Amino acid sequence: MKRHALLAWLMTLLPLAACATQAEQIKAGYAWIRLLPADLPAGGYVLLNNQGTSNAILVSAQSGTYGSVMLHQSSTDTRGSDTMRMLDHLTIPAHGQVALVPASYHLMLQQAKHPLKPGDKVDITLNFADGSHLQIPFLVRPANATD
């Protein structure tokens, strides 16, 4: 009876250990937005560190400040032409890091709901494949900011 109780207790723990959500595995750092004048689309950047033992799959993002947040990738083709493409997901490997940085992966932020200025903080929520969410404060920086 006592052993049964212990077993039952252990069994409730097991799924908990295995089910750290994808969002919980991610440590975000250096989150910032390059602010452009008027209502031009802006780039959002962040370093995503997966400290978990399984992949985390970023599937979308949203923000109360922007009407549209899209996951994009910039690349240069063989002719030296710059293109952007939309991604439907981005995998952050277990114990790995994915950098959303200029000229690479980034969030394309459109339709700001109110004017922003450098120094502001904007919350953006990342949505993962398992339905978990991670809200990250992004620092608004001027157009000509460099790393």
Partner 1 sequence: MKLSRFARLVCLLIAGIMLAACQRHDEAAPWQLTDISGHMPDLSFRLTDDQGKAVTAADYHGKVTLLYFGYTHCPDVCPLTLAHLHVVMQRLGNLADGARILFVSVDPSRDTPEALHAYANAFDPRVVGLTGAPSDIESLTKRYRAAFSREPDKSGGSYDVSHSSGIYIFDANGHARLLATPEDSQDKLIHDLHLLLSPGGAT
Residues engaged in binding partner 1 (CB under 8 A)? 34, 36-38, 40-43, 68, 72, 74, 76-77, 79-84, 86, 102-103, 106, 108-110, 142-146
- Min separation Cβ 34 and partner 1, Å: 6
- Min separation Cβ 146 and partner 1, Å: 5
- Min separation Cβ 131 and partner 1, Å: 24
d(CA 24, CA 69): 21
Nearer to partner 1, 106 or 128 (CB): 106
* Tokens of residue 4, six digits: 């049964």
Nearer to partner 1, 26 or 109 (CB): 109
**Residue 44, φ and ψ in degrees, nearest 5:** -115, 135
Nearest to 71 by CA among 126, 116, 23: 126
Secondary structure of residue 26 in the 3-state scheme: strand
